Chains A and B, each alone.
Chain A
């Protein structure tokens, strides 16, 4: 009788054990898969964030390039009205695919010997990177003393440019 009492008795001692086992595996693998999916999700979000950051940085650079080119096309940068004291209008606005368009303003313009020195600031987004560039536009037709070496790839009227400073602020 003692041996019979200790034998497996589905009706009493082990009732529901299989179900409990199944629920245990369910919980274990559920947590396991959830963790793996969490890693994948984090990785994907990280990649997306890096890609967006990359785009905004290049968009800011591109916007300043555009601003430089627009001023450069002026026939006489030293007397150009694009960047004069008190100018607040955007010189160039580069379209952005993922954030507000990147607007470039200019500040601290100064002229010397018909040249124009100006600081461009590109703001890519409220929290995005900004580019600040200080650029000298040389009037190659009037200034014969400080024109930098270089070639003019396109047309006539393009002015020589020297970038004195190019800084990115995160």
Chain B
């Protein structure tokens, strides 16, 4: 038999080699495909979380910078700081619906110093954590302008966090 194949065309074992090469290529390709699919799935999930946080941040910010009052409560009152008062903002769930698996909160409040405007200077900065205790009161004089940072993040799965900073002024 061996002599017959060799004598016929000299291609003995070529198919086996081809199959082995093909299997090797296919193996590499499938690994690449799987990696690509994993990237796509991860990216899609991240984008979906980001889009949800985007909408959440906008809703939260609109309520936060709006003053309360009118026929329906649509905003949050400005909280002036003092030496004994820490401006703590909480948006009620009746005004902003936070989707399951996400959280949004005011993570930082900076109080304008009343003089610097290019760029504005902040006399006092308060930092908050989600679900944590508010910071202690400190020396603070309020000039009716606060720079507020809102943080939205996921509470489960892959961590995705976005922030938005808005300026809130005291009641007009």
> What total of chain A residues lie within 8 Å of the partner, measured CB to CB?
60
Contact A43 B22 (CB under 8 A): no
User: In the assembled complex, which residues on chain A have CB atoms less than 8 Å from the CB atom of B50?
Assistant: 47, 51
| Residues A50-83 near B (CB distance < 8 A) | 50-51, 54-55, 58-59, 61-63, 65-66, 68-70, 72-73
Q: Does A150 contact B (CB under 8 A)?
A: yes
Of A22, A30, A155, most buried by chain B (CB within 10 Å of CB) is A22
Is A11's CB under 8 angstroms from B14's CB?
yes
Q: A14 CA to B9 CA in the complex, in Å?
A: 13
- Cβ of A65 and Cβ of B145 under 8 Å apart? yes
- Report the nearest A residue to B23, measured CB to CB: A22
- A92–B26 alpha-carbon span in the complex (Å): 62
User: Which residues of A does B touch, CB under 8 Å?
Assistant: 10-12, 14-19, 21-23, 25-26, 29-30, 32-33, 36-37, 39-40, 43-44, 47, 50-51, 54-55, 58-59, 61-63, 65-66, 68-70, 72-73, 90-95, 97, 101, 150-155, 158, 160-163
Which residues of B are at the interface with A, using a C-beta cutoff of 8 A?
8-11, 14-15, 18-19, 21-23, 25-26, 29-30, 32-33, 36-37, 39-40, 43-44, 46-47, 50-51, 54, 57-58, 61, 65, 77-78, 80, 112, 114, 117-120, 142-145, 147, 162, 164-172
